Amino acid sequence: MTPPTAHGRGASTPRQAPVQTARPLRVPRRAAGACCVVALLLGLSVVPGVAAQSATVIRNAQVVDGTGRPPMPAADIVIQGSRIVALSATGSGQAPPDARVLDASGKTVIPGIINLRGLAGLVRSPERTAAPFSRTEIARQLRIYASYGVTTTTTLGPPAADLTDFRSTVEAGSTPPVARTLTPLRILTSPNSGTHENPLVQRLFQSVGSPGEARRAVDLLAREGADYIEFREGRRGPAESRDPLVPQAIISQAKQHELRIVVHARDLQSAAAFVRDGANVVASSVSDKPVPDKFIEDLLVHGVVYAPALSTDSIRFEFGDRPAWLDDRYLRRSLQPGITGLLRGPVSVRQALDPDRALKMLRFNTARRNLRRLAGAGVRIGLASGSGFPGTFEGFSEYREAVLMNRAGMSAADVIRAFSQGSATALGISDERGTLRPGQTADLVILNANPLDNIHNLRELHAVFVRGRLASL
């Protein structure tokens, strides 16, 4: 994939500033500089991430609200604290007297990207000395997410990180703006899931071998504060040999705790069974065969969100061709040192010589066709990039997932709806975020170009707001 060249809760109360004369902002070029330029023009203190208690008005923008409705060609968005308090046609509403005004003429505002499947804090580079899953590393990677317009992602809760404490500081506005997180803490798996080649990642999975063990595992996760339950079916052995009582117990027990259940299954038989058993989200591609009408009907009847994770499927084979996008400058800030060399070297050779490579490519194409059919039938779609795991890139992988979804046959408008309202619905947070409307959290992205014209314009970032605060680009 070679995209076109890019153009370019309780925070302290800062001193109020007079209303600013509306004028276009310069295109931000660097992290601190970008935030400072925007802050100055909005009348904010030149400190990245400081929230204003007085209102901010984004004026005269095209607004794609994430619901799938046609865009508003010229609209004003009023942000007060962390919330959107008004959205109306430009000139039809009254701006608060103390508002900071941002002229967004010629720009497009979309909801922030919500990623259903991610991991923050894993150190993937042999050249980085940072401790994996340390508070510092988690914060660094969540800042990168936000700089790509990803305002919410999911992550796992490794024992080495006090994730609950860190998340509370983020929500309180005590840190510069970073992507917000939800977590299942650990992924439950069937016994035949095998061992992940990275031992740090393997610690994040918990194998359960019986229905009783499954129920106890869900009870423990609920007590520890999991936001939802995640289950991954084992890949070894035919689907017919897998014990259906284990996922049934997990799904049933999750519902007892009023927790949503996200499942992963690449084969149709398992995915269909999980949907019938009551799963809320399928966060993987069905890729072994074309999806039948009955599966589509079950997804629609039960309101299941389908998030295909195409980018996760593609990285199982595409490094064997040393893809040109590894040189994309938009990828650079997401790269850990030495990763490109690994991907172009040993990873590329291993994938090129993989005897199952052709099969993986065939299944990827089946996954794309299935997505096109499901989306066309009206199934609710979400975005699950798998970023943060080996071979992926926080922020950039969400962009790639959006592009792959578009190439599979979804319109740009449908892709935006998928990574906003679709993902928020999947995680059970749609009352609070995922669309641009009064009452929602002000998680939004201002783009210099219209993504409805070209999905690659998602990379034309002008500004990112997380809970009403400017994030560094």
Give the 3-state secondary structure percentages of the chain, helix then strand then coil, rounded to 5.
Answer: 35, 20, 45
The H or E element that residue 79 is part of is strand 72-80
Three-class DSSP category at 387: strand
CA nearest neighbour of 126 among 342, 396, 388, 343: 342
CA distance 196 to 361: 21
Tokens of residue 167, six digits? 């998340």
Residue 34: what residue type? A
Cα separations in angstroms, 378 against 300, 325, 390, 430? 8, 32, 33, 18
CA dist 468 → 20, 47, 224, 226, 398 (Å): 18, 14, 29, 26, 22
Question: pLDDT of 410-432, one tens digit each?
Answer: 999 999 999 999 999 999 999 99
**Which run of H or of E encompasses 110?**
strand 108-111
| Nearest to 387, CA basis, from 401, 404, 405 | 401
CA-wise closest residue to 119 among 452, 397, 342: 397
Structure token pair of residue 38: 């925007």
CA distances from 296 to 5, 271, 368, 416 (A): 38, 11, 15, 21
Identify the residue whose tokens are 């890139």: 393
Task: Please answer whether residues 464 and 445 qualify as being in contact, where contact means their C-beta atoms are separated by less than 8 angstroms.
Answer: yes
Distances (CA, A) of 414 to 72, 389, 402, 404: 16, 26, 10, 13
Listed in sequence order, the residues at least 6 apart from 429 whose beta carbon sits closer than 8 Å to its beta carbon are: 114, 152, 182
| 8 A C-beta contact, residue 425 and residue 417 | no
The vertex-449 CA angle with 444 and 451, nearest 5°, equals 70
The 10s digit of each residue's pLDDT in 234-292 is 665 555 556 889 999 999 999 999 999 999 999 999 999 999 999 999 999 999 999 99
Neighbours of 21 (CB within 10 A): 8
Per-residue pLDDT of the chain (473 residues; tens, 9 = 90+): 444 443 333 333 333 333 333 333 333 333 333 343 333 333 333 334 434 457 999 999 999 999 999 999 999 999 999 999 999 999 898 888 888 999 999 999 999 999 999 999 998 887 777 888 888 899 999 999 999 999 999 999 876 456 878 888 888 888 899 999 999 999 999 876 655 677 888 889 999 999 999 999 999 999 999 999 999 986 655 555 568 899 999 999 999 999 999 999 999 999 999 999 999 999 999 999 999 999 999 999 999 999 999 999 999 999 999 999 999 999 998 998 889 899 999 999 999 999 999 999 999 999 999 999 999 999 999 999 999 998 999 999 999 999 999 999 999 999 999 999 999 999 999 999 999 999 999 999 999 999 999 999 999 999 999 999 999 99
3-state secondary structure of 135: helix
pLDDT reported for residue 157: 81
User: Which stretches of 329-443 are DSSP H helices?
Assistant: 339-344, 346-352, 357-376, 396-407, 412-417, 423-427
* Cα 160 → chain centroid: 23
301: exposed, middle or buried (C-beta count within 10 Å: 0-12, 13-18, 19+)? exposed
Domains of the chain, with CATH numbers? Answer: 31-110+435-470 (2.30.40.10), 113-427 (3.20.20.140)
**What backbone phi and psi angles, to 5 degrees, belong to 237?**
85, 155
For 327, residues 6+ apart whose C-beta sits below 8 A from its C-beta are: none
* Residue 288 region by backbone torsions, left for phi larger than 0, else alpha for psi between -120 and 50, else beta: alpha
Rounded Cα gap, residues 444 and 44, in angstroms: 18
The predicted structure's pLDDT at residue 165: 82
Question: What pLDDT score does 81 carry?
Answer: 92
Contact call for residues 385 and 415 (beta carbons, < 8 A): no
Q: Say if CB 264 and CB 283 are below 8 A apart.
A: yes
Query: Helices (H), strands (E): how many in the chain?
Result: 15, 17
Cα 335 to Cα 115, 123, 195, 328, 400: the distances in Å are 19, 11, 26, 11, 14
